[in-house]
Structure 1
């Protein structure tokens, strides 16, 4: 898969079959659409392409600073890399871009720039300035500019919508196993390891403090989770706490991971953790000793779960 940063950078002599959307989470609902896209491309000898936008349109048009996404842009690229797509086109979404008329979008971008021969899109897709054009307009443009439009059935679009809603609700409730089932893969958090206060090391549970740059990334419910990561071509398991460390009167939310059987300096390294299961809520314990005793229990619970994978 080739990632193209900006529509103007797309160069291909072969026509494309394309779908358009934010594809946040790239979950099992999306996969049906993407499989259809890729199979169509192979049958018709076309390049398969996903046109997506960043920042998310709502961040630009609604100034919605509180919007939380399931994937960072880099995570989205990582997931799409493995499905057989030819091109991921990431176009900067700006106010000026949003003002393109429907005709300008179709003629100048889809037809002239992306050489589209087929668009696979939802029945409820809207586009152009103020989103005033719909699927019927797109079909009409297809007749004018000689490309086909295939509508994704209502049921499949509803499945995508329902899946996204269910994933968010599950993550915010700490129900990682349900979220992972809807996603079709383990929910991930990606960031750099920063220095913490060192309390974990003092009580026998050294932690790596994960710093996520992307403020729009959805962070699951506070609590303790079983996680895994991949380091030096091997799987490393651990347990992770999301929360405020109330036992030591923590003031800021943190994400701290204690990796089992890992004796490595991770400071400032980029780490990606995959969440497997939540084992308990975050609690304020009477003392550091009580906290340490609970962490021992958490480790036993985690290792028992891991042994059954």
Structure 2
């Protein structure tokens, strides 16, 4: 998949396309349905498939301070979109100037002139243009005179519950991994870089990898989890603490993981944490010995939940 960044990179090379637009945070089942439709329609027409997304959540510009924490980095989002078969991903900067583009100009300048779209498939709740005045009801009236076909992809429901990035964020924030697994179609993954911590884990016999994440990313609800850590091509079972280390005093919410059967140093290295199961709440212990006993139990339970051979 080709990745193109910035509105100055438009127009693309003169070749017709089937296109879609969205923030696609998490690339959940609803997003996947839209992307599959775009790829299918592009194949039917013998043209390329294009997805247009943004480098930040629109509310970061439109209503600063109200924007949600995100499920995916731009890089992870690109990987997931590529897996759907999209040919070209356009990543636009959502800034104040972009937010002022009218719905009419968005269709004409971005979709038709920018990516040469002959057909557009959008989710049913798609909005666009200044003050989100463009909707799937108004899009056909703007697109048809320009020779652009329009298709609405209905929202995906699981058990009468609509799949959405918001519902996934809410579930993760409460420590629920079941809904994200169902709605994403895969386990939630947190990407980051290992940084040097206080070294307490090593002193307790359980050295941990402290993860520094993109500040815009959502962290799961406070607690202890079992999961899998990926470092390069290697994957390790991991006991994961998403918390504040209350036994040693309150610290900012962060993620640190004890990688089972790993011996090495990781600071400065990229690491991805895949959350499989929530084990328990994070609590304050009266002594270090009590904490060590709890960690031992967490590690043992992680081994049981993720047995040898369970990691693909």
TM-score band (shorter)?
over 0.9
After TM superposition, give the deviation of residue 161 of structure 1 in Å.
5.1
Aligned residue-pair number: 308
Q: Who is 1:63 aligned against?
A: 64
Q: Is the 8 A contact 2:35 2:81 kept in 1?
A: no
1:72 matched to 2:66? The reply is no
Residue by residue over 1:87-142, the C-alpha shift from the partner in whole angstroms, topping out at 9 and shown as x without a partner, is 11110011111112222222222111210100112344332222223334321232
After TM superposition, give the deviation of residue 301 of structure 1 in Å.
0.5
Unmatched 5+ stretches in structure 1:
none
1:153 matched to 2:159? The reply is no
Change in Cα spacing, 1:124 to 1:269, as seen in structure 2 (3 Å) is: closer
Q: Is the 8 A contact 1:66 1:216 kept in 2?
A: no
Residue by residue over 1:48-96, the C-alpha shift from the partner in whole angstroms, topping out at 9 and shown as x without a partner, is 1111112211100111355211112122112212121101111001111
Residue by residue over 1:4-58, the C-alpha shift from the partner in whole angstroms, topping out at 9 and shown as x without a partner, is 1023324223211111111111111211111111111111111111111122111
Quick one: distance in 1 between partners of 2:215 and 2:66? 9
Q: What's the TM-score once normalised by structure 2's chain length? A: 0.92
Q: Who is 1:226 aligned against?
A: 226
After TM superposition, give the deviation of residue 151 of structure 1 in Å.
1.8
The CA RMSD over aligned residues, in Å, is: 2.1
Q: Is the 8 A contact 1:229 1:272 kept in 2?
A: yes
Quick one: distance in 2 between partners of 1:236 and 1:302? 11
After TM superposition, give the deviation of residue 204 of structure 1 in Å.
0.7
Quick one: distance in 2 between partners of 1:195 and 1:124? 43
1:183 matched to 2:184? The reply is yes
Residue by residue over 1:183-236, the C-alpha shift from the partner in whole angstroms, topping out at 9 and shown as x without a partner, is 111211111111111111111100111111x22211111111112122342321
Quick one: distance in 2 between partners of 1:287 and 1:235? 32
Quick one: distance in 2 between partners of 1:188 and 1:125? 26
Quick one: distance in 2 between partners of 1:28 and 1:171? 16
After TM superposition, give the deviation of residue 268 of structure 1 in Å.
1.2
Q: Is the 8 A contact 2:29 2:163 kept in 1?
A: no
Q: Who is 1:264 aligned against?
A: 264
Q: Which has the higher helix share?
A: 1
Q: What's the TM-score once normalised by structure 1's chain length? A: 0.93
